[in-house]
Structure 1
Amino acid sequence: MEMKLPEEGKIAEVRGGKLEVPDEPIVAVIEGDGIGREVIPVAIRVADRAVELAYGGKRGIIWWELLAGKKALKEKGELLPKETIEGIATVKLALKGPLETPVGSGHRSLNVTLRKVLDLYANVRPVQYYGAPTPFAYADKVDFIIFRENTEDVYAGIEWKAFTEEARKVLEFLEREFGIKVREDSGLSLKPISKFATQRIMRKALQWAVDKGRRVVTIMHKGNIMKFTEGAFREWCYEVAEKEFSEYVSIGEEKPGKILVNDRIADNMFQQIIIKPWAYDVIVTPNLNGDYISDAAAALVGGVGMASGLNLGDYIALAEPVHGTAPDIAGKGIANPSAAILSVALLLEYMGWIEATELIRKALRKTIESGKVTADLAKPGEKALKTEEFAEEVIKAMEGL
């Protein structure tokens, strides 16, 4: 089926190495599975109202639905149609809900597939406190952003199932060629980390730090154990800082007016964000570390229901909440849309629409701090709002700012 763009709106274009966003951009939307069908529509309502309030009708988004997941399978006969991938690549701006991925069997993650085929190599996850209930004493001190490499590591999907002929051949090769003996009942996985992918994620993180006035960039790795993958990740990151950003950074030593670049071992990093969260600003990690640290960091400020994400390539941006499809509550209208709302705000920030972004973030904080929350954030005995009710309260708060 041939891709057909909306008649209204314009496509964001790359000019002079920068993405230029028109006043009425076409933005692709994938609602996703499970609670995605509930949280994405209300996030769009919040975004539209923020844009209207911020720009008085001079700007507006043309939302263009594309299909993936169960809805695509039902209507198109496949989980990820070609026109969906082509559509996102064409308009360059997209918002996506969570897509279901089976555990242990079945098709590979559609989320990972989208990142790979569109070369969305940077998974950007801000972690900030918006007033959600949390037992963490230093929640109000949390304000850092994670840059997770999105294409390599164990997520590259190079695996051999135990007891298969393929696994046997790999085991025999390891023993014959390198003298490495591995138990014959082992499943195997290959972990590639390249200089190319490492340096472009570090470059993206450092440029973000420069543009946003951030003060520290920390490389998170397990290089003490995996010396030629994660250890190399550390060294290649430092190389970018030293060779390409020398006028902006200081390596390992705080200096006035310079961005401090340092590193932490992965297991220590988990401790650090708990005991000294104020010491961290931008965290750069390989894929698997980034997955772990993102969820752990989200727990400090209220859980993944508050966690936004932005998958970036050189120019394409795909925003998505960090949480999954939550099938246990899907269809009940009780899901927390905060992560989806913050994700669309992150997309607006990437577009350069800062005024609308700030309206959403301030209104969300005001709503939560006033005790108007969904069931996951409500205290015992406290009235919980439905998904749409919560979004309406955020809109009212925006209108009152």
Structure 2
Amino acid sequence: MSYEHIDVPSEGTKVTYDEDADELDVPDDPIVPILYGDGIGSDVGPATQKVLNTAAEETGHEINWMRVYAGESAVERYDENLPQETVDAMEEYRVSIKGPLTTPVGAGFRSLNVALRKRLDLFANVRPAYCLDGVEEISPVKDPEEMDMIMFRENTEDVYAGIEWEAGTDEVEQVREFVENEMGYDEIIYDGPVGIGVKPITEFGTKRLVREAIDYALESEKHNTVTLVHKGNIMKFTEGQFRDWGYEVAEEEYGDEVITEDTLWEERDGEQPEDAVVVNDRIADNMLQQMLTRTDEYDVLALPNLNGDYLSDSAGAQVGGLGFAPGANFGTGKVLAEPVHGSAPKYEGQDKVNPTAMILSGRLMFDYIGWEDAADLVLEGVNQAVAAKKVTYDFHRQMEGGEKLATSEYAQVVADNIEDLA
């Protein structure tokens, strides 16, 4: 495929997907689209490339980067925020990474990030939360090292794909009339202005998300529970169905590899088999509490979209904040890595902000394509930098005796650590 504003590298090989085997074919020299994004993306993007290049080279690989555009950088080239050829390039080359995007007011998108995920059908937003060495000093909790969770957040449904009608419009009055007169629910809508919204949660979307979470736990050496997090006690036919459909996947598709929490206690007296994953469920507000009080009891969480947003940010706060919060979007044979944080435009171009979240998102990308050695080097390179208190301003201002580094300087320290480790 040819592109108008995207320069395809003259060297490198395309990552391909074998649909029959359900696996990627990843060469040692892949072409990888990278979208710097808006605001601080111009700082954290190049810093991330430096670190990922070093880890790849030290493990016998070579990344051939291909710049793609969305947000402000796309408006300059295409006069639109999300050009189709950016979506096409990420679809064609399968493995991508991006920085933060700002959705301008009146852009026609509820969120550029959400729009990109939906167009690529990246149905699982995967957000790990774990404690790096040295974070204990600045964490707001007593034992942040107990945090080691990975959240599988459904990416395409819930309120992010819902419909809203604005108070005072003809449309909202039509919906009100239908709900009150046709459906007979007049007691739930008070007189006066009202905004109304609906949210979809489907069996298809729920089950493929829960499968992804369970498969991850089965392949993991340290995660052996999957918790379905929902508000099904109140929203019985959306989030309650999420829970029920999740249990259906566990009980009907995995045999003895997966057991429910009820089975664990009723038939095994709480003794978990070494080769099985336990699936349980928790109400979302209770889970927020248990994330603090029983942190070490939870491994993999599977959540509807909004719950996943809230809980992943809360988990990240326990282990350093959004500057250290990585993420990646998984689809069928494709991945788009992206940090959790936003674009922070007031810091754009200052070579100041923390690039760790995007760097560790690159680590997730490496894991996804089977470059475990490179992923391990990225994590340990970051670990050593933070443990040595060689950090950017956001961490430096909270710790004693650290060395404050610019974004580019920090990336160089991490890259140097990787070279020493290899």
Which position in structure 1 is the counterpart of 2:316? 298
Secondary structure of the residue aligned to 2:59 is: helix
Which position in structure 1 is the counterpart of 2:59? 54
Task: Tell me the alpha carbon deviations over residues 1-55 of structure 1, each in whole angstroms, 9 at most, x when there is no partner.
Answer: 9426332211111222211111111111110000111101110110000111122
**Aligned pairs for 1:2-401 within 5 A:** 2-3=2-3, 5-15=8-18, 16-55=21-60, 59-102=61-104, 107-131=109-133, 132=135, 133-181=138-186, 182-183=189-190, 184-213=192-221, 214-252=223-261, 253=264, 254=270, 255-257=272-274, 258-378=276-396, 379=399, 382-401=402-421
Task: Tell me the alpha carbon deviations over residues 205-258 of structure 1, each in whole angstroms, 9 at most, x when there is no partner.
Answer: 111111123211111000000000000000000000111112211200242221
Q: Following the alignment from structure 2 to structure 1, what is the Cα–Cα distance between the partners of residues 382 and 9? A: 31
Task: Tell me the alpha carbon deviations over residues 102-153 of structure 1, each in whole angstroms, 9 at most, x when there is no partner.
Answer: 4798632110000111100000001111132212112111111000000000
TM-score, with length taken from structure 2 = 0.91
CA contact (8 A) 1:138 1:277 kept: no
User: What's the Cα RMSD here?
Assistant: 1.5
Query: CA shift at 1:316, angstroms?
Result: 1.3
* One-letter amino acid matched to 2:169: T
Query: CA shift at 1:332, angstroms?
Result: 1.5
Q: Return 77-86 or 326-335, whichever deviates more.
A: 326-335
Q: Following the alignment from structure 2 to structure 1, what is the Cα–Cα distance between the partners of residues 110 and 232? A: 28
Query: CA shift at 1:273, angstroms?
Result: 0.9
CA contact (8 A) 1:2 1:83 kept: no
Secondary structure of the residue aligned to 1:28 is: strand
* One-letter amino acid matched to 1:344: G
Give aligned-pair identity as a percent. Answer: 46
CA contact (8 A) 2:316 2:324 kept: yes
Q: Following the alignment from structure 2 to structure 1, what is the Cα–Cα distance between the partners of residues 106 and 169? A: 16
* One-letter amino acid matched to 1:175: E
CA contact (8 A) 2:71 2:103 kept: no
Q: Following the alignment from structure 2 to structure 1, what is the Cα–Cα distance between the partners of residues 2 and 171? A: 39
Task: Tell me the alpha carbon deviations over residues 257-288 of structure 1, each in whole angstroms, 9 at most, x when there is no partner.
Answer: 21111110000100111111110100000000
Aligned length, in residue pairs: 398
Q: Following the alignment from structure 2 to structure 1, what is the Cα–Cα distance between the partners of residues 88 and 148? A: 35
CA contact (8 A) 2:30 2:64 kept: yes
Unaligned runs of 5+ in 2: 265-269
CA contact (8 A) 2:389 2:401 kept: no
Following TM superposition, the consecutive aligned residue runs of length 4 or more in structure 1 with deviations greater than 4 angstroms are: 102-106
Unaligned runs of 5+ in 1: none
Q: Following the alignment from structure 2 to structure 1, what is the Cα–Cα distance between the partners of residues 358 and 69? A: 18
CA contact (8 A) 2:327 2:337 kept: yes
